[in-house]
Structure 1
Amino acid sequence: MTNIFYVEYDAAHASNFVFDIPEGHNCWLLVVTHTPALFWVNGELKEYPAYNGVLYHPHQKIYYRACAEQYKNDWIRFESNESYVMETSLPFGVPFSLNDPEYCHKIFQLLVSEHSFQKDYKESSIDCLLRTLFNKLLESYFQEVITPQYYNLLTLRTAIYSNPSQDWAVPRMADSIRISPGYLQSIYKKTFGVSCMDDVITSRIRQAKEYLLHGSLSIAEVSLRCGYNNVEHFCRQFKQITGFTPRKFHKQMEWASVERAAKT
C-alpha cells in the first residue's frame, strides 16, 4: 500500500531557501533537483549539480538549501510498505545523478495530477507511477558516471527521434550542442552504443514503418516524410535494416493483419 501525503513539481524558491528537519519526517521523502543545491551528507555540507535525486527514509535528518539565485525541485512525501520502497538499493540522504531527468519530471507531473483528484480506484495508478519512478532512479544510480555532456546528448537524441525527417547532418547536430563534429561522433557512440547517424537512420526507418503500417501514402511520399530526398536510397536503407523492401513490408503486414482477423 502506498499513500502520498503531498507531491509537487517545479517548486521554486529564492536564494535564501533552507529546508532543515533535524529529526526527519515520519514518512519517506524523495527530492529531485532542477538546480544546484547544498546537501548535508555524512556530516558535512556538499554542493551537488542540477538533476540529482535524493531519498530520505523516515526519521532521517534532512538538510538542504539553495546555492544559486533560485532553487527548483520536484518532491514527494509518502508512506509505503511496498518492497520496491522498503527494500530499495538506493542510498539514503546521498544525492545521485539522474540519467533522464525529463522522464522523472513527467512522472512527477502525472503523480500530481493523479493525487489531486484521487479516488479509491486511482490507488493502483499512483502505485504504478511511483514504482516506475523508483525503477528509473535505480537505473540512474547504477549507471556509470554521467558525463557533463550527457544531458545535451540526451536532448539531441530525443529531438532526433521526435523529428527524424529533419536534416540531421553531423555538423548541424554538433553545432546544436556546441561541440565539434568529431567529438560528437566519439561521445555519442560511447554514450548510447550507436553512432549518431545510425541513430538518425533507425529513427527514420521506425517512422517509415509506422507510415507503411497505418497509412495510405505512396513509397515516394513515405520516403520524403521520413527525410529522404532519394527514394532509391530510402528503399535500400529500409531493406538493409528490416530485411524487406518498403512495398513487401507493407504487404507482409497486410497479410498478417488479415490472418489475425480471420482467427478471431
Structure 2
Amino acid sequence: MAHIHYVECNTTHASNFVIDVPVGSHWLLVITKTPAQFWVNGGLKEYPAHSAILYSPSQKVYYRACADHFVNDWIRLESDEPYITESPLPLGVPFALSDPYYCHKLFELIVMEHNFNRDCKESSIDYLLRTLFNKLWESYFQDDITPQYYKLLKLRTAIQTNSGDYWTVSKMASFLQISPGYLQNIYKKTFGISCMDDVINSRIRMAKEYLIHNAQSIAEVASRCGYQNVEHFCRQFKQMTGHTPRNYQKHSRG
C-alpha cells in the first residue's frame, strides 16, 4: 500500500521558487505545467511544460522556476508497491507526458480522496495511483511528444466527447489555427486515422449505443449523432457495420 505524506495540484510559485533537498526523503513525483530547470546528471537543464519526474527516496532533489512563475502537480509518498518501487521509469530524469490533462484529473481526484476520510479512501487512492503510473509508463515509452501533439490531443478529445457536433475538416483546422491540408496530414501521422474517419467512428459508436438502449427513432438517433440527413446516416452506418440501423437494432435487441 502507498502512504501519501502530501499531495497538491495546480500549485503556483513565484519566479524565485527553488526546491533543494540534497539527500531526498520519500518517493516524489512532480508534473510541470510550465517550463522548469532540473538538476540532471550533474547539471541544470531546462525542460518544457508537461514534463514528469520521479525521485526515489534518498535521491538528490533540485528543481526551480525558470520563468515569471512555476505551476506543478506533485505528490510525496512512501510505498512498497512494485508498480512504484520497480517502475521502469527513469529516476531523477524528466520525460514528456503524452496526456497531461488526464494525469491532472487523476491528481485532482487523489487530492480529494487524500483530504477526506471516506470509507474506501485507501483502496480508492491505490486504484488512482496505479492508473496514474500506468499513464506515466505509456508516456515514457511514447515517442515524438511535441507541443503540436498536445493541441491535436485536445482536438481528438473534443471529437470523442462531442461527436454529435457538426465537425468538418475546416472547423477542426480552425480549432488548431492551421490549414485543413496540414491538419489532415499531421492528424493521420499522429493517430493512425484521418480526422474525419475519427469523427465517423465516434458517431457510429454512439449510434450503436442509442439504437440498442434507447427508444428514439432512427431519425432522432441520426440527429443526435450529428447527421443532418437520415439517408446519409443509414448509408454510413451500413458501410461501417454491415447492417442497416433498423436491422442492427432488431438483431441486437433480439
* TM exceeding 0.5: yes
Instruction: Report the CA distance between 1:128 and its aligned residue.
Output: 1.2
Structure 2 residue matching 1:149: 3-state secondary structure: helix
Give the match for residue 250 of structure 1. Answer: 249
Q: Aligned partners of 1:252, 1:187: CA distance in 2, in Å?
A: 39
Structure 1-normalised TM-score?
Answer: 0.93
Which residue of the partner structure matches residue 19 of structure 2? 19
Match runs of 1:1-264 below 5 Å: 1-25=1-25, 27-119=26-118, 121-255=120-254
Give the Cα separation in 2 of the matches to 1:204 and 1:219. 14
Summarize deviations over 1:80-120 as a string: whole Å, max 9, x none: 11111111100011110000001100110111111112356
CA distance in 2, matches of 1:123, 1:245: 48
Deviations 1:35-71 (A, max 9, x none): 1111111111111110010000001111111111221
| Structure 1 position 125, deviation (Å) | 1.5
The whole-number CA distance in structure 1 between the counterparts of 2:128 and 2:187 is 30
Matches of 1:243 and 1:83 in 2, distance apart? 46
Q: Any idea what the Cα deviations from partners look like across 1:195-216, whole Å, max 9, x if unmatched?
A: 0000010111111112212211
TM-score by length of 2: 0.97
Structure 1 runs (4+) greater than 6 angstroms displaced: none
Distance in 2 (CA, whole Å) between partners of 1:205 and 1:119 is 39
Q: Match for 2:148: what amino acid?
A: Q
Which residue identity does 2:11 align to in structure 1?
A: A
Q: Which deviates the most, 62-71 or 193-202?
A: 62-71
- Deviation by residue 1:133-168 (Cα, 9 ceiling, x = unmatched): 111000000001212210000000011111112221
CA displacement at 1:75 relative to structure 2: 0.5
Gaps of 5+ in 1: 256-264
Taking the aligned partners of 1:213 and 1:10, their CA distance within structure 2 comes to 41
Aligned residues with identical type, % of pairs: 67
Q: Secondary structure at the match of 1:128?
A: helix
CA–CA distance in 2 between the matches of 1:57 and 1:120? 30
Rate the CA distance shift 1:120–1:171 in 2: closer, same or farther, 3 A: closer
How many equivalent pairs are there?
254
- Alpha-carbon distance in 1 for matches of 2:118, 2:214: 39
Letter in 2 for 1:19: I
Q: CA RMSD in A?
A: 1.1
With over 3 angstroms needed to count, the CA separation of the structure-2 counterparts of 1:119 and 1:161, relative to structure 1, is closer
Aligned residue type for 2:178: I
